[in-house]
């Protein structure tokens, strides 16, 4: 009889054997309530955490279902203390509730009065609550976010049933016709967030792959609520893409959808703004100039695009605006600063998620093949690398001049494809741009020029384009089918996912996507690459380790995928 695929350790780590015949179904089930930490070739390491369990609980998972599955799939008996922790984390979800009190304040309730008394006695909560003579625990309305954040850090998530402001009324209809049809999963994601307009809904995060139409989910949520909406996104290009999508997919008019950026300050029933403008201030000690935008416009819904990037000042502002409905959109809830608990407590729990590979199988994402191309250091660079500090070693490895030779090989191989070259370091990108005569977009490129180059890339006039990290997010380039990553941000899992996402939109010819990441062999860059690939490994993508000489010809790969 075949042994089960899992080993569950007493510290909550779960080891999954990748060569096991049940690897794929086990991986898909495990990722619903655990986080991938390491992905060596033969064994993947997951960890069960309070946040992973609470997000699972928000999606309807139960302790009995999770523990029963672990018992069936574990090679050895699951330790009693592991079961007790998981059961306790499930029990704590929804144990505490926030409700409206008669005087306009909020009431914090708990099924266990003694636990509530213990918690409100903690120093971190003392200044946030007031205990009435009858024992009722009251919270000022403007401390709603702070109390939720404090309780999550104590290990007790709060179910927020205090309701929301109505916001300005905005009646509108979705567009109809062959050009736009709401996909079933997009409709389902919006409905899971909305929850029929009940107090149980109205806040939370939708997790969908890049290219799956998260913008459409946001528009569908707006349509369900029919209220003034503030959309926050990563840059001005993304602002304008959101505006174009809203106008194309609804009957809202141009004077109802405004841009609030460094160039325009329009407050309309639907206002699309950048995180950068909200965090702008004239000096380090000055107030944030535009954070009061949250209080303007009668917004009943705030949509946080790429919510995993939420900057600290917006976190703080969001803590004070919990009476607004809040929808977070992201391809991954991974935050490299470890502040997933902030997203959970201030935006809301995960309401909907679909695996990347499931959407690929349904034809909503292009099939993709990922390569880690290991590039040797030359003798001079090897000496510099050996003598450098650890931090300088990273830059020396990233700037490896032999990567340009590899780029040349790949550009020849993909001469007829739409190729994005993506990197971290501007000097390196400028050098590659000059060497191959290719256009380059960086943070210093004027928005009008960015729009022109992106448009030329979409039309095929410019088939090969170089972008800095400004190309990581919210760039709609549906015909891009090859990405070459020449350098990245240390071990950023979210960045790796976003960069693969640039080429995952389905192609008009049904063709595949190819993602190359160039890594200097035997360096710290290779170590960081292993961490960067974690999230994609969790989604079922495997990296083929090759040298430039071993890369398959484009035609061979194309025939292999189509077969």
According to the model, what pLDDT value does residue 63 have? 97
> 212 and 144, same structural domain?
no
> 386 and 262, same structural domain?
no
According to the model, what pLDDT value does residue 268 have? 95
> 86 and 112, same structural domain?
no
Who contacts 397 (Cβ-Cβ below 8 Å, separation ≥6)? Answer: 377, 385, 520, 523, 524, 525
Q: Strand 203-207 vs strand 137-139: parallel, antiparallel, or unpaired?
A: unpaired
346 within domain boundaries = yes
- Report the distance separating Cα 533 and Cα 547, nearest Å: 18
Query: Whole domain around residue 12: which residue ranges?
Result: 6-92
The three-state secondary structure class of 460 is coil
- Report the distance separating Cα 170 and Cα 164, nearest Å: 16
Q: Burial level of 198, CB count in 10 A (0-12/13-18/19+)?
A: exposed
- Report the distance separating Cα 506 and Cα 509, nearest Å: 8
- Report the distance separating Cα 237 and Cα 247, nearest Å: 16
288 within domain boundaries = yes
138 within domain boundaries = yes
521 within domain boundaries = yes
- Report the distance separating Cα 325 and Cα 315, nearest Å: 15
Which 3-state string (H, E, C) describes 16-83? EECCCCCHHHHHHHHCCCCEEEECCCCEEEEECCHHHHHHHHHCCCCHHHHHHHHHHHECCCCCHHHH
DSSP code, position 174: B
> 415 and 345, same structural domain?
no
According to the model, what pLDDT value does residue 553 have? 55
- Pick the last residue of a domain from 92, 117, 149: 92
The strand pairing partners of 158, in sequence order, are: 96
- Pick the last residue of a domain from 302, 326, 354: 354
> 519 and 372, same structural domain?
yes
According to the model, what pLDDT value does residue 558 have? 44
> 279 and 265, same structural domain?
yes
pTM: 0.86
- Determine contact, residues 557/481, Cβ cutoff 8 Å: no
> 447 and 324, same structural domain?
no
> 419 and 375, same structural domain?
yes
225 within domain boundaries = yes
According to the model, what pLDDT value does residue 474 have? 56
According to the model, what pLDDT value does residue 563 have? 39
Q: How many CB atoms lie within 10 A of CB 429?
A: 23
- Determine contact, residues 540/357, Cβ cutoff 8 Å: yes
> 297 and 280, same structural domain?
yes
Q: Residue 485 belongs to a domain with what CATH number?
A: 3.40.50.300
Q: Strand 130-131 vs strand 137-139: parallel, antiparallel, or unpaired?
A: antiparallel
The strand pairing partners of 368, in sequence order, are: 513
12 within domain boundaries = yes
> 188 and 55, same structural domain?
no
The three-state secondary structure class of 370 is strand
> 425 and 326, same structural domain?
no
- Pick the last residue of a domain from 39, 68, 92: 92
According to the model, what pLDDT value does residue 551 have? 64
- pLDDT tens sequence for the chain (563 residues): 789 999 999 999 999 998 999 998 998 899 899 988 777 778 888 999 999 999 999 888 999 999 999 999 999 999 999 999 999 999 999 899 999 988 888 999 998 989 999 998 898 898 899 988 888 999 998 899 999 999 999 999 999 988 898 899 999 999 987 778 899 999 999 999 999 988 788 999 999 988 899 999 999 999 999 999 999 998 888 899 999 999 999 999 999 999 998 888 999 999 999 988 888 777 776 777 777 788 888 999 999 998 888 888 888 888 888 889 999 999 887 777 777 788 888 999 999 988 888 888 889 999 999 999 999 999 999 999 999 998 899 899 999 999 999 999 999 999 999 999 999 999 999 999 999 999 999 988 988 898 899 889 988 899 999 999 887 765 677 788 999 999 987 778 878 888 888 888 888 777 889 999 999 999 999 888 888 888 787 778 888 899 877 765 544 444 443 33
> 438 and 365, same structural domain?
yes
Alpha-carbon torsion angle 93, 96, 97, 102, nearest 10: 180
Who contacts 428 (Cβ-Cβ below 8 Å, separation ≥6)? Answer: 398, 399, 486, 487
According to the model, what pLDDT value does residue 418 have? 93
175 within domain boundaries = no
171 within domain boundaries = no
- Number of domains into which the chain is organized: 4
DSSP code, position 301: E
């Amino acid at each position: 009889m075949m042994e089960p695929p899992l080993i569950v350790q007493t510290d909550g780590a779960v080891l999954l054997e990748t060569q096991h015949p049940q690897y794929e179904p086990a991986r898909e089930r495990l990722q619903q309530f655990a986080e991938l930490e390491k992905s060596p070739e033969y064994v993947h390491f997951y960890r069960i955490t309070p946040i992973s369990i609470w997000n699972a609980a928000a999606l309807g998972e139960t302790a009995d279902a999770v523990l029963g599955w672990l018992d069936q799939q574990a090679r050895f008996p699951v330790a009693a203390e592991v079961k007790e922790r998981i059961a306790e984390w499930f029990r704590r979800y929804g144990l505490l509730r926030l409700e409206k009190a008669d005087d306009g304040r909020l009431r914090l309730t708990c099924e266990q009065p003694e636990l509530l008394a213990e918690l409100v006695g903690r120093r971190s909560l003392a200044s946030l609550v007031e205990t009435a003579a009858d024992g009722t625990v009251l919270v000022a309305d403007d401390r709603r976010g702070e109390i939720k954040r404090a309780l999550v850090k104590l290990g007790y998530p709060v179910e927020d049933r205090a309701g929301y402001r109505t916001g300005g009324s905005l009646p509108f209809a979705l567009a109809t016709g062959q050009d736009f049809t709401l996909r079933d999963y997009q409709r389902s994601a919006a409905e899971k967030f909305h929850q029929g307009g009940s107090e149980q809904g109205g806040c939370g995060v939708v997790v969908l792959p890049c290219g799956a139409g998260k913008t459409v989910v946001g528009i569908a949520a707006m349509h369900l609520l029919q209220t003034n909406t503030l959309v926050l996104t990563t840059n001005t290009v993304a602002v304008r893409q959101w505006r174009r999508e809203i106008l194309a997919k609804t009957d809202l008019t141009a004077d109802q959808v405004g841009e609030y950026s460094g160039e325009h300050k329009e407050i309309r029933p639907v206002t699309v703004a950048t995180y950068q403008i909200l965090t702008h201030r004239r000096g380090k000690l000055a107030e944030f100039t535009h954070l009061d935008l949250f209080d303007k416009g009668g917004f009943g819904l705030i949509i946080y695009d790429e919510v995993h990037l939420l900057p600290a000042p917006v976190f703080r502002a969001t803590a004070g605006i919990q009476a607004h409905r809040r929808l977070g959109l992201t391809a991954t809830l991974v935050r490299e600063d470890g502040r997933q608990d902030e997203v959970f407590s201030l935006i809301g729990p995960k309401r909907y998620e679909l695996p990347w590979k499931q959407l690929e199988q349904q034809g909503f994402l292009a099939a993709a093949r990922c390569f880690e191309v290991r590039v040797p250091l030359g003798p001079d660079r090897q000496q510099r690398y050996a003598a450098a500090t650890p931090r300088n070693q990273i830059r020396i490895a990233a700037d490896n001049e032999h990567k340009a030779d590899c780029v040349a090989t790949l550009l020849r191989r993909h001469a007829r494809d739409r190729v994005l070259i993506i990197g971290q370091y501007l000097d390196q990108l400028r050098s590659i741009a000059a060497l191959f005569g290719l256009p380059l977009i960086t943070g210093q490129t004027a928005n009008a020029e960015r729009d022109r180059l992106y448009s030329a890339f979409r039309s095929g006039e410019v088939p090969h384009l170089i972008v800095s990290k400004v190309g990581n997010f919210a760039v709609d380039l549906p015909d891009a089918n090859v990405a070459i990553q020449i350098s990245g941000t240390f071990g950023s899992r979210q960045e790796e996912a976003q960069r693969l996402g640039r080429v995952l939109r389905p192609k008009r010819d049904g063709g595949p996507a190819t993602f190359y990441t160039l890594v200097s062999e035997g360096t710290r860059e290779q170590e960081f690459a292993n961490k960067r690939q974690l999230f994609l490994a969790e989604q079922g993508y495997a990296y083929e380790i090759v040298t430039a000489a071993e890369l398959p010809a484009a035609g061979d790969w194309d025939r292999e995928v189509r077969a």
